[in-house]
Amino acid sequence: MTNGLVLAILGAALAALLAGIGSAKGVGLVGEAAAGVVSVDPSKFSKVLILQLLPGTQGLYGLLTAILMLSRIGVIGGNAAELTVSQGWGFFIAALPIAVVGLISAIFQGKTAAAGVGITAKKPEHNGKGIIMSAMVETYAILALLVSILLIYNINI
Amino acid sequence: MSTIKYANAVAAIRAMENSLLSRSDLDQLINAATKSERDNIVASKRGAEEFTLESVWEIIRGYAPDCRELEILLYKNDFHNLKAALKSMIAGKEPQGYYIRPTNLNLDALYPALAAKEYEQLPEHIRDTAAEAYELLTRTLDGQLADSLADTACMRAMQKAAEKSGSEFMKKYAQLTTVCADIKTAYRCSRMKKQRSFIETAVCGSDELDRDSLVRASLGGSEGLLSFLENTSFGDAARLLAESPAKFEKWCDDVIMELAETARMEAFGADPLAAYFIAAEAELKNLRIISVCKESGTDRDIITERMRKLYV
Q: Which letter does DSSP use for residue A140 in this model?
A: H
Closest CA to A14 of A85, A50, A66: A66
CB A19 within 8 A of CB A100: no
Of B12, B17, B18, the CB nearest to A36: B12
Average pLDDT over every residue of B131-136: 93
pLDDT surpassing 80 at residue B304: yes
pLDDT surpassing 60 at residue A58: yes
What is the rounded CA–CA span in Å between residue B259 and residue B275? 8
pLDDT surpassing 90 at residue A157: no
Q: How far is CA B41 from the centre of its chain?
A: 27
How much is the pLDDT for B132? 94
**Which sequence spans correspond to the domains of chain A?**
3-153
What is the rounded CA–CA span in Å between residue B279 and residue B260? 8
pLDDT surpassing 70 at residue B80: yes
User: Nearest-CA distance from B69 to chain A in Å?
Assistant: 20
Average pLDDT over every residue of B31-59: 90
Average pLDDT over every residue of B203-227: 92
User: Nearest-CA distance from A26 to chain B in Å?
Assistant: 11
How much is the pLDDT for B56? 96
How much is the pLDDT for B265? 86
Of B7, B16, B17, the CB nearest to A33: B7
Q: How confident is the model at residue A66 (pLDDT cuts 50, 70, 90)?
A: very high
Average pLDDT over every residue of A110-119: 94
pLDDT surpassing 80 at residue B9: yes
Mean pLDDT of chain B: 93
Closest CA to A32 of A16, A19, A48: A48
ipTM above 0.95, yes or no: no
How much is the pLDDT for B83? 95
How much is the pLDDT for B2? 62
**Which sequence spans correspond to the domains of chain B?**
1-69+270-312
Domain A3-153, architecture per CATH: Up-down Bundle (1.20)
CB B264 within 8 A of CB B276: no
How much is the pLDDT for B156? 96
Q: Which long-range contacts (CB under 8 A, 24 or more apart) does B177-181 make?
A: B177/B76, B177/B256, B178/B204, B178/B205, B178/B206, B178/B208, B178/B209, B179/B206, B179/B208, B179/B209, B179/B234, B180/B237, B180/B252, B180/B255, B180/B256, B181/B151, B181/B155
How much is the pLDDT for A57? 97
Q: What is the pLDDT of residues B232-274, one digit of tens each?
A: 999 999 999 999 999 999 999 999 999 999 998 888 999 999 9
Contact A114 B14 (CB under 8 A): no
pLDDT surpassing 80 at residue A22: yes
CB atoms within 10 A of CB B163: 12
Residue B60: closest CA among chain A residues belongs to which residue? A36
> Which positions in chain A touch B7 (Cβ < 8 Å)?
29-30, 32-33, 36, 114, 117
